[in-house]
Structure 1
Amino acid sequence: MATPPGVWPADALAVDGWRTVPTAHPPLDAQLPGGGWPLGALIELLQPAPDAPVWPLVLPALVARQRSAGGALALVGSPHEPFVPALAAAGVRADAVLWLTADAPVARLWLAEQALACGDVAAVLAWLPRARSADLRRLHLAAARRGEGLLFALRPAAAAASASPAPLRIAVEGADGSTLALRLRLLKRRGPPLVEPLLLARGAPLCDVLAASAGVQAQAPQGVPNVDWVLPRRVSAGGVCVQPEVGDAVVRLAVAA
């Protein structure tokens, strides 16, 4: 007998629901419903520190989504200014990185919602250390209305003890004794619990990424600025754009009325 939508056997992954984007990490894809990151839903990544390395985990999907759907990558409340050369070397469009800054939790939530409502934004990463469950539900519903957006909320590891509407919650940690591996604990998914953590390769060291970036610059046509000169467009919670001092990487944020 077929199960109704939103219901799945206790010992199996859900087979209906959201479209997905492959994570590019086969061991992780095998453990996620639909074989990847869900579109139109909140994905919660819990980290031991705000600047803990999650880029190797999410970058492949961000690049794939940007290439397939077009649009910008919006970073809300990131702890550091995005290092565009490294992102570009990984495949992110250097002229389509939008840096949205705010300190107040309500302002970050608003920025994330506006980015989700913008058809020119392919994916949103929001650092939300003080978000409440009701705030996360608002974001989840905003992502569902968009339908095709990729949304990651980055929160502290201590938030694992709190309830969340996110259908997928993953604790991201560095593997013990290794700087080249990530340990993932799947705290919540549409399927049975996963007792054992997953170990994933963290990716190329920074020196390799920068070397690749240098190669891209060397092959750039004459007259095209080096990627080092391209800075993200910074937008404050009040909607005021702060123009970079060098370069001209302009991304428009079409704020919904």
Structure 2
Amino acid sequence: MRLQPVPIEPADAPEGVWRGDELGEAGGATCPSGHAGLDAELPGGGWPLGALTEILQPEAEAPLWPVLLPALAQAVSVRRQPVALIGPPHEPFGPALAAGGLPLESLLWVRADAAPARLWACEQALRCAEVAAVLAWLPQARLGELRRLQLAAARHGALLFVCRPASAAPAASPARLRLRLQPGPDGQLDVHLLKRRGPPLDRPLALPGRGGRLAGLLRAGRSAAEPLPPQRPAGATVVRLDLRRALRPVAASSAAHAAIAASHEEAVHALDCPSVAA
């Protein structure tokens, strides 16, 4: 006699059994990400506490702070404890982070170039009860090392983010949550959910790639740079002036003007660095 499989309907599923086509629970406490669209797709409605969240980037300098800053600021505000930054690619820009709710005195910046030193510092920070969250850049971390960090985060219920290159996506990872960030058009960030307790997400989530203040300043700058349409009152007389002779004395200072313009251009690029959260 051949037995026929009987499908289990959602209403008949035993209590506590998770179906793979449904968004599962976080399996512990969570911290809201500060982005309603992202929280709706994360198990438990936020970043998992006591678990490893792995963030893959095309390059270490890609924007990151707009995604993580709201949760880190909330963790500092609730626990009154600092955030440990392990091996960031740029020096943290305190005023911009403070504008996003993460004051400079709440940052522990650990400078470590060697991979073993970064792993050691990350593990020690996770073991410290006086640290609210850990954000580490570990491009060369191996599977066993990530498992150690996962266990350390689970013991102390810490909020842990590990940044790795996008090329690590095919490799196995013990992370409970895995995301890939990709800069998109108009300053947006496309968030691809590679691993979660739930069905795969077909489309990436679009999140703002810049803070609200910086986006407003850039919009204002573009508007100010746009030439105004010529307006000529009725009956006005047009006078044409030869400015070539008047501009000759300024030519000697062209190098200084070029240096000033270059410095302004560098400042704009600096605002896009991942260590700047404006």
TM-score (norm 1): 0.76
The aligned residue for residue 204 of structure 1 is: 212
> 5 Å matches for 1:104-253?
104-147=114-157, 149-175=158-184, 177-179=185-187, 181-202=188-209, 203-206=211-214
The aligned residue for residue 22 of structure 1 is: 32
Q: Is the 8 A contact 2:52 2:177 kept in 1?
A: yes
Deviations 1:61-97 (A, max 9, x none): 0011111111111100101111111111111122121
C-alpha displacement at 1:140, in angstroms? Answer: 0.5
- In our comparison, the structure showing a higher alpha carbon Rg is 2
Distance across 2 between alignment mates of 1:123 and 1:64: 10
Q: Is the 8 A contact 2:191 2:205 kept in 1?
A: yes
User: 1:11 and 2:21 equivalent?
Assistant: yes
C-alpha displacement at 1:205, in angstroms? Answer: 5.0
Tell me the percent identity.
55
The aligned residue for residue 68 of structure 2 is: 58
The aligned residue for residue 237 of structure 1 is: none
Distance across 2 between alignment mates of 1:208 and 1:120: 36
C-alpha displacement at 1:11, in angstroms? Answer: 1.0
Give the letter for the 1:160 counterpart. A
Distance across 2 between alignment mates of 1:104 and 1:42: 21
TM-score (norm 2): 0.70
Aligned partner (choices 81, 98, 109) of residue 99 of structure 1: 109
Deviations 1:141-175 (A, max 9, x none): 0000011x110000000010100000100000111
Distance across 2 between alignment mates of 1:206 and 1:74: 25
Distance across 2 between alignment mates of 1:98 and 1:130: 22
Q: Is the 8 A contact 2:83 2:131 kept in 1?
A: yes
Distance across 1 between alignment mates of 2:57 and 2:27: 27
User: 1:49 and 2:98 equivalent?
Assistant: no
Distance across 2 between alignment mates of 1:39 and 1:3: 24
Could you tell me which runs of 5 or more consecutive residues in structure 1 were left unpaired when the two chains were aligned: 210-257
Distance across 1 between alignment mates of 2:216 and 2:163: 26
How has the CA–CA distance of structure 1 residues 131 and 3 changed in structure 2, closer, same or farther, with 3 Å as cutoff?
farther
Deviations 1:200-225 (A, max 9, x none): 1223253769xxxxxxxxxxxxxxxx
Q: Cα RMSD over matched residues?
A: 1.5
SS of equivalent residue, structure 1 residue 161 = coil
Distance across 2 between alignment mates of 1:158 and 1:172: 12
User: 1:86 and 2:96 equivalent?
Assistant: yes
Distance across 2 between alignment mates of 1:105 and 1:161: 21
C-alpha displacement at 1:35, in angstroms? Answer: 0.2
